[in-house]
């Protein structure tokens, strides 16, 4: 097994190597965004249309600065590659785990006493007979023993990423914020609750987390396209008054909630109180143009400075154009804060906007 990448080559020289992840089918758009930002980008797919390895002719810190200032919508997660270990077929699992552990010393900047999370992944079909959790277990033991580190899963100071492929293993160390998401591969998991009304609830939970919001700080929300009620139920749990609008039925578990007002009709046919709401969420899963128009017509109800969370259906596989057209419609009255395809978005992405 060889260590191909010299650590000084990757962390401080003129180029840096990364592994980036997008939702399945959307890596092509993540690459397009990266290429606009970094014309020197060279890339190859590790998992078709989902995971991509790329090299940029800039050092790591410069790449991160540019990425944070212009965060791509479709790049869910990335981590740097500081070590590449070549795999040979004959090697036993135990020897390979030992090799991975021995390469910890090639990762610069592991702080003594730091909280470190190991995030191990493997590409499908890579032929190896140990699991990502065994990689974590082996590395945790060395980190605790030799580096006096604290092995954690969440709230880490540093993340060590290990990606096992058929012929190589990639390792890198980074701060959680540098990975765009502190979840392995950006795959944020929420526990499904008993009686949860819809999986759509996860989208709003993820938006709250990803955009750094705290819904308990809001008072009165409008939920457009509310049925069966996953988003409404989350906002009720956060203590808000909710005005839900949908021609479809809300789940019986929330319909009699004392902080809920429900208009069972098309959102085009409701009259709301002026300036009365500080949050508007919309998950109508409808043509973005029509959604944008409908939303605009209801903006009188939202206070200035109010927050909007909107899922946008990506039509005809032309996401950039779809978003551009929608923003052209909305931006005189609203300011875009963040646009991101969240892990729980399917053929859509989520916008966070503020009313001017
Ligand atoms: C994806 S579902 C919403 C799921 C919901 N966020 C949840 O967590 O349960 C989309 C909803 O939008 C509603 N919808 C579509 N067009 C609408 C309109 N013009 N006015 C109100 N609701 C609409 C549909 O009836 C449907 O119930």
Q: How far is the CA of 285 from the centre of ligand 1 (A)?
A: 7
Give the domain extent around 338. 201-355
Paired tokens of 201? 């609830």
- Whether ligand 1 lies within 6 angstroms of the CB of 225 is answered as yes
Residue 182 belongs to some domain of the structure: no
CATH number at residue 296: 3.40.50.150
Question: Are residues 256 and 329 located together in one domain of the fold?
Answer: yes
Q: What ligand 1 atom has the least distance to the C-alpha of 200?
A: 8
Q: What ligand 1 atom has the least distance to the C-alpha of 281?
A: 6
| pLDDT cut 90: percent of the chain above it | 85
Identify the segments of the chain with pLDDT beneath 50. Answer: 1-12
- Whether ligand 1 lies within 6 angstroms of the CB of 109 is answered as no
What whole-number distance in Å separates Cα of residue 234 and Cα of residue 236?
A: 5
Residue 194 belongs to some domain of the structure: no
Residue 128 belongs to some domain of the structure: yes
Counting Cα atoms < 13 Å in the Cβ hemisphere of 324 gives: 4
Can you name the residues that pair with 91 across neighbouring β-strands?
A: none
Question: Are residues 111 and 146 located together in one domain of the fold?
Answer: yes
**Active centre residues (catalytic):** 313
The predicted structure's pLDDT at residue 167 = 87
Residue bearing the CA closest to ligand 1, atom 27:
227
Question: Are residues 59 and 118 located together in one domain of the fold?
Answer: yes
What whole-number distance in Å separates Cα of residue 153 and Cα of residue 136?
A: 10
Residue 184 belongs to some domain of the structure: no
- Whether ligand 1 lies within 6 angstroms of the CB of 200 is answered as yes
What does the angle CA 146 – CA 150 – CA 152 come to, to the nearest 5 degrees? 130
What distances in angstroms separate CA 224 from CA 42, 134, 244, 300, 314, one per listed residue? Answer: 42, 45, 6, 14, 18
The predicted structure's pLDDT at residue 112 = 86
Question: Are residues 207 and 168 located together in one domain of the fold?
Answer: no
CATH number at residue 144: 3.30.2130.30
The predicted structure's pLDDT at residue 129 = 79
Residue 45 belongs to some domain of the structure: yes
Question: Are residues 215 and 280 located together in one domain of the fold?
Answer: yes
Cβ within 8 Å of residue 145, ≥6 positions away? none
Residue 222 belongs to some domain of the structure: yes
Q: How far is the CA of 266 from the centre of ligand 1 (A)?
A: 9
Residue where a domain terminates, one of 137, 162, 177: 177
What average pLDDT does the chain have? Answer: 93
Looking at the structure of the chain, the number of domains it has is 2
Residue recorded with tokens 């200035």: 304
- Whether ligand 1 lies within 6 angstroms of the CB of 235 is answered as no
What whole-number distance in Å separates Cα of residue 290 and Cα of residue 281?
A: 16
Question: Are residues 17 and 164 located together in one domain of the fold?
Answer: yes
pLDDT in tens, 191-220: 998 889 999 999 999 999 999 999 999 999
Q: How far is the CA of 81 from the centre of ligand 1 (A)?
A: 42
Question: Are residues 135 and 53 located together in one domain of the fold?
Answer: yes
Closest Cα to residue 160, out of 221, 250, 100? 100
pLDDT in tens, 235-270: 999 999 999 999 999 999 999 999 999 999 999 999
- Whether ligand 1 lies within 6 angstroms of the CB of 247 is answered as yes
């Amino acid at each position: 097994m060889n260590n191909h990448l010299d650590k000084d080559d990757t962390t401080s020289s003129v180029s840096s190597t990364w592994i980036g992840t997008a939702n399945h089918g959307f890596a092509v758009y993540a690459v397009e965004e990266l290429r606009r930002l970094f014309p020197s980008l060279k890339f190859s797919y590790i998992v078709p249309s989902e995971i991509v390895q790329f090299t940029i002719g800039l050092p790591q810190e410069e790449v991160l600065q540019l990425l944070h200032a212009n965060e791509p919508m479709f790049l869910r997660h990335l981590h740097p590659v500081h070590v590449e270990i070549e795999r040979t077929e004959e090697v036993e699992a135990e020897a390979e785990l030992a090799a991975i552990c021995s390469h910890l010393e090639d990762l610069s900047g592991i702080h003594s006493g730091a909280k470190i999370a190991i995030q191990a992944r493997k590409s499908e079909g890579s032929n190896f007979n140990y699991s990502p959790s065994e990689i974590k277990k082996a590395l945790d033991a060395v980190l605790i023993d030799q580096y006096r580190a604290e092995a954690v899963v969440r709230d880490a100071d540093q993340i060590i990423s290990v990606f096992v492929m058929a012929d190589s293993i990639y390792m890198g160390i980074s701060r959680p914020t540098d990975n765009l998401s502190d979840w392995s591969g950006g795959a944020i998991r929420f526990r499904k609750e008993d009686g949860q009304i819809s999986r759509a609830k996860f989208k709003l939970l993820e938006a709250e987390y990803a955009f750094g919001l705290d819904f308990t700080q809001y008072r009165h929300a409008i939920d457009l396209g509310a049925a069966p009620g996953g988003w409404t139920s989350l906002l009720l749990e956060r203590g808000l008054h909710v005005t839900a609008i949908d021609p479809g039925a809300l789940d019986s578990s929330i319909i009699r909630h004392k902080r809920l007002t429900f208009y069972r009709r098309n959102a085009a046919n409701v009259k709301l109180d002026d300036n009365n709401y500080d949050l508007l969420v919309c998950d109508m899963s409808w043509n973005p143009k029509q959604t944008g128009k409908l939303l605009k017509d209801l903006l009188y109800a939202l206070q200035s400075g109010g927050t909007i969370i909107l899922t946008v259906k990506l039509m005809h596989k032309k996401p950039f154009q779809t978003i551009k057209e929608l923003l052209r419609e909305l931006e005189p009255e609203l300011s875009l804060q963040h646009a991101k395809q969240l892990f729980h978005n399917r053929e859509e992405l989520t916008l966070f906007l503020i009313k001017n």
